[in-house]
């Protein structure tokens, strides 16, 4: 194309463009939207409101306008975060949410027209607010001592704020203490925390409050409170005995060495046969007067042949209790002893021989482990196993050791049974032992595959016992050879009872089994609602047994089938029931702390007695009374018909009682017992 015609075409195009611009009265830059950026309102921690407006759009239509912002880009664009305005007005308020606290943001107005052209306003910035810790001064923990107190502090919004530090500030002069005063720093992330303020002056008022410092360095405070520290504690001193202890009384000396600088409320001596650190919650004798001077105090109504722990105590005017050093004394044995003796095994590792009328201790024998199984008296010997791994034989009248058999593992809850001159017992190494009752020599042992907590029973020359390997075993008593074994579906802790050619036993599979004594074949079984650790007892053709489903069951011993009746207690039954023909009652303990007397014919409750802890041991009937051991450490003597307590009998062990007690007259067992006591009558 000739140059002349090409230039002509360019000239005509430019003329047309200029003609249109003149028609619209617009300059070329006015095609971009003209907008204005407004100032922010007061920024919050995570949001702020800003204004945006349009000043000119030209001939174009508006597609969108609003705010773009960024914490990093100082010239934010629509490629950064944007929040479009709503409504048809040319000016709008836009809320920016989801921001980070204590952060600087850059923002400006943007607008997009229908030609896709974007216009921006001037750049502005704002900084979000810092999150203030909502710190709270909570309640005191306990009472102030003369030199310290404890209180709790909490940052209620700890999840929303990053803490640098929090704790307690305190002062004796500034009623609104700050971090410029003394402070005790808490550990943790702001959850409820106990703070100890120590090294204070006695008998002084302190002002305190919680504080918190955020990562931005902002300090906030909780409510101001005040406390007064106590007066100095009394220094109680335990002095030596005055003379020697008798069977039931002793004199001890106490004093308060700093009595001149404290106001005494009370002082004296506290003592206990069980607690090695007796307190004012145990027995005490209070000194007369408040001088704190050295005095001799008489402690009376003690148990004979018992070790007691004692120490001085003092209470100052603020109610603070202090104690002196712990000392011990031993009461002497009674000069005369009854031929009737009640033997009690305790988890404190001691076998006690008690006067069955008073509970007084005639003698005691300590082992190296807890005693959970029941003792037995036979052939002039008192026999029992200990968790120290020994089977012991004692003189039942004096408590002197005749022999001991070391098995190498504990006799946890398996109780001995005696037939002729042989003692049979199981232990936690899974063995059943046959021991000569006279010498303590082993005759044989039979291994099972797991620990034995079941107590053996013997009938017609056969030893029956359960094991934690799920089996019930029948073992020839003379040789230790297995006769048969029956496998249940759970561990067997229950002890067997043999009656009329049938072995009755419970299992951890929640069932009660009646097995043929000769073959081990199942005659009948019944599934309860819980494990059966209780040992059955048979009386007048009826089988009684407890379950951990809280129920006592009564079955026809021969036929089995559904129970004749059940009685539901308040907790699991580990205890084995005991039946007395005299009163027509079944007695059983429960872990609801009670012993129950239930009509054997109907299952109706006659009475119940409440102790202070589990009644896991079966009760016995002897000496005209029901004796029941409790894990509260006591043996209770109860009237068999009414359940009323014979208060003249009192015994308290230093630890809990799981074992069934045994009564003997001149070395011979008397009374009625649960089947697993080893002392069946």
> Using one digit for the tens of pLDDT, what is the confidence trace for 53-83?
999 988 899 999 999 999 999 999 999 999 9
Q: What is the pLDDT of residue 664?
A: 80
Instruction: Look up residue 441 and give its two tokens.
Output: 């020599």
What would the pLDDT profile of 210-230 be if each residue is shown by its tens digit?
A: 999 988 888 999 999 999 988
pLDDT band at 353 (very low <50, low <70, confident <90, very high): very high
Mean pLDDT over 224-253 rounds to: 89
Residue 24 CA: distances (Å) to CA of 18, 100, 116: 10, 47, 20
Mean pLDDT over 622-638 rounds to: 91
Q: What is the pLDDT of residue 230?
A: 80
Q: Is the model more confident about 19 or about 211? A: 211
Residue 237 CA: distances (Å) to CA of 180, 226, 263, 541, 628: 42, 34, 16, 65, 40
Q: What is the pLDDT of residue 19?
A: 47
Q: What is the pLDDT of residue 221?
A: 97
Write the CB contacts of 25 (distance below 8 Å, at least 6 apart in sequence): none
- In DSSP notation, 443-482 reads EEEEE-SS---SPPEEETTEEEEE-TTSEEEEEETTT--E
What would the pLDDT profile of 304-348 be if each residue is shown by its tens digit?
A: 788 999 999 999 987 889 999 999 999 887 544 456 899 999 999
Q: What is the pLDDT of residue 663?
A: 79
pLDDT band at 148 (very low <50, low <70, confident <90, very high): very high
What would the pLDDT profile of 525-551 be if each residue is shown by its tens digit?
A: 999 999 999 999 999 899 999 999 999
- Whether the per-residue pLDDT at 667 is higher than 90: the answer is no
Q: Is the model more confident about 215 or about 349? A: 349
Q: What is the pLDDT of residue 584?
A: 87
What would the pLDDT profile of 580-598 be if each residue is shown by its tens digit?
A: 866 889 999 999 999 999 9
Q: What is the pLDDT of residue 103?
A: 92
Mean pLDDT over 626-639 rounds to: 93
Other beta carbons within 10 angstroms of residue 240's beta carbon come to: 9
What would the pLDDT profile of 189-201 be if each residue is shown by its tens digit?
A: 999 999 999 999 8
Q: State the average pLDDT for the chain.
A: 90
Q: What is the pLDDT of residue 21?
A: 43
pLDDT band at 102 (very low <50, low <70, confident <90, very high): confident
pLDDT band at 9 (very low <50, low <70, confident <90, very high): low
Cα dihedral 430, 431, 432, 438, rounded to 10, equals: -130
Answer yes or no: are the C-beta atoms of 246 and 332 closer than 8 Å.
yes
Q: What is the pLDDT of residue 485?
A: 98
Query: How many whole angstroms separate alpha carbon 597 and alpha carbon 587?
Result: 5
Write the CB contacts of 255 (distance below 8 Å, at least 6 apart in sequence): 236, 237, 239, 292, 293, 294, 295, 312
Percent pLDDT > 70 in the chain is 92
Q: What is the pLDDT of residue 680?
A: 34
Query: How many whole angstroms separate alpha carbon 574 and alpha carbon 454?
Result: 12
Instruction: Look up residue 380 and give its two tokens.
Output: 């002039």
Answer yes or no: are the C-beta atoms of 204 and 229 closer than 8 Å.
yes
What would the pLDDT profile of 152-164 be if each residue is shown by its tens digit?
A: 999 999 888 889 9
Query: How many whole angstroms separate alpha carbon 109 and alpha carbon 64?
Result: 11
Q: What is the pLDDT of residue 42?
A: 87
Mean pLDDT over 236-261 rounds to: 89
Q: What is the pLDDT of residue 24?
A: 40
Q: What is the pLDDT of residue 8?
A: 60
What would the pLDDT profile of 447-471 be if each residue is shown by its tens digit?
A: 999 999 999 999 999 999 999 999 9
What would the pLDDT profile of 269-302 be if each residue is shown by its tens digit?
A: 999 988 999 999 888 999 988 899 999 998 976 7
DSSP three-state, residue 538: strand
Give pTM, 2 decimals: 0.53
pLDDT band at 260 (very low <50, low <70, confident <90, very high): confident
For 489-521, give one letter per residue: b (16+ CB within 10 A) or e: eebbbbbbbbbeebbbbbbbbbbbbbbebeebe
Q: What is the pLDDT of residue 210?
A: 96
Other beta carbons within 10 angstroms of residue 29's beta carbon come to: 8
Mean pLDDT over 94-113 rounds to: 95
């Amino acid at each position: 194309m000739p140059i002349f015609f090409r230039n002509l075409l360019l000239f005509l195009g430019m003329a047309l463009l200029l003609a249109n611009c003149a028609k619209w009265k617009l300059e070329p830059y006015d095609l971009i939207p003209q907008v204005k950026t407004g100032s922010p309102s007061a920024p919050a921690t995570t949001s702020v409101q800003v204004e945006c407006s349009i000043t000119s759009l030209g001939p174009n239509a508006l597609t969108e306008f609003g705010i773009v912002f960024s914490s990093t880009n100082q010239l934010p664009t629509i490629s950064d975060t944007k929040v479009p305005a709503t409504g048809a007005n040319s000016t709008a308020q836009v809320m920016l949410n989801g921001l980070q606290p204590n952060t600087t943001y850059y923002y400006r107005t943007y607008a997009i027209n229908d030609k896709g052209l974007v216009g921006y306003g001037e750049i502005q910035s704002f900084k979000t607010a810092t999150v203030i810790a909502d710190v709270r001064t909570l309640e005191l923990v306990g009472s102030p001592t003369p030199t310290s107190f404890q209180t709790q502090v909490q940052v209620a919004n700890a999840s929303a704020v990053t803490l640098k530090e929090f704790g307690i500030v305190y002062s004796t002069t500034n009623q609104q203490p700050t971090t410029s005063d003394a402070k005790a720093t808490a550990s943790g992330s702001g959850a409820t925390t106990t703070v100890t303020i120590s090294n204070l002056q006695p008998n002084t008022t302190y002002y305190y409050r919680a504080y918190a410092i955020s990562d931005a360095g902002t300090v906030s405070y909780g409510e101001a409170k005040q406390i007064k520290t106590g007066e100095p504690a009394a220094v109680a001193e335990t002095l030596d005995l005055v003379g020697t202890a008798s069977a039931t009384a002793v004199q001890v000396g106490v004093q308060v060495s700093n009595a001149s600088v404290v106001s005494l409320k009370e002082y004296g001596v506290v003592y206990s046969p069980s607690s090695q650190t007796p307190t004012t919650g145990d027995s005490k004798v209070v000194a007369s007067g408040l001088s704190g001077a050295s005095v001799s105090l008489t402690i009376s109504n003690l148990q004979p042949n018992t070790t007691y722990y004692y120490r001085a105590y003092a209470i100052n005017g603020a109610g603070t209790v202090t104690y002196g050093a712990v000392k011990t004394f031993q009461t002497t044995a009674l000069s005369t002893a009854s031929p009737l003796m009640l033997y009690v095994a305790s988890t404190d590792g001691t076998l006690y021989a008690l006067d069955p009328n008073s509970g007084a201790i005639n003698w005691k024998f300590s082992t190296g482990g807890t005693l959970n199984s029941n003792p037995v008296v036979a052939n002039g010997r008192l026999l029992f196993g200990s968790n120290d791994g020994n089977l012991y034989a004692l003189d039942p009248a004096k408590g002197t050791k005749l022999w001991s058999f070391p098995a190498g593992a504990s006799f946890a809850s398996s109780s001995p049974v005696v037939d002729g001159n042989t003692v049979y017992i199981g232990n936690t190494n899974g063995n059943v032992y046959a021991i000569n009752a006279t010498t303590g020599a082993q005759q044989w042992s039979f291994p099972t595959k797991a620990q034995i907590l079941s107590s053996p029973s013997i009938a017609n020359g056969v030893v029956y016992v359960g094991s934690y390997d799920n089996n019930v075993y029948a073992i020839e008593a003379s040789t230790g050879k297995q006769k048969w074994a029956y496998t249940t579906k759970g561990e067997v802790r229950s002890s067997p009872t043999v009656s009329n050619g049938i072995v009755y036993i419970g299992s951890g599979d929640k069932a009660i089994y009646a097995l043929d004594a000769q073959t081990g074949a199942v005659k009948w079984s019944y599934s309860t609602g819980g494990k059966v650790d209780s040992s059955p007892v048979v009386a007048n053709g009826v089988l009684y047994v407890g379950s951990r489903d809280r129920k006592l069951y009564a079955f026809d011993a021969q036929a089995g089938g559904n129970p004749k009746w059940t009685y539901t207690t308040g907790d699991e039954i580990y205890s084995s029931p005991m039946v007395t023909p005299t009163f027509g009652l079944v007695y059983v303990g429960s872990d609801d702390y009670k012993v129950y007397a239930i009509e054997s014919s109907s299952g109706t409750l006659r009475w119940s007695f409440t102790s202070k802890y589990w009644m896991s041991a079966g009760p016995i009937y002897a000496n005209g009374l029901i004796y029941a051991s409790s894990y509260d450490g006591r043996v209770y003597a109860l009237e068999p018909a009414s359940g009323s307590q014979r208060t003249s009998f009192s015994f308290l062990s230093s630890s809990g009682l799981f074992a069934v007690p045994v009564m003997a007259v001149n070395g011979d067992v008397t009374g009625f017992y649960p089947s697993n006591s080893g002392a069946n009558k």
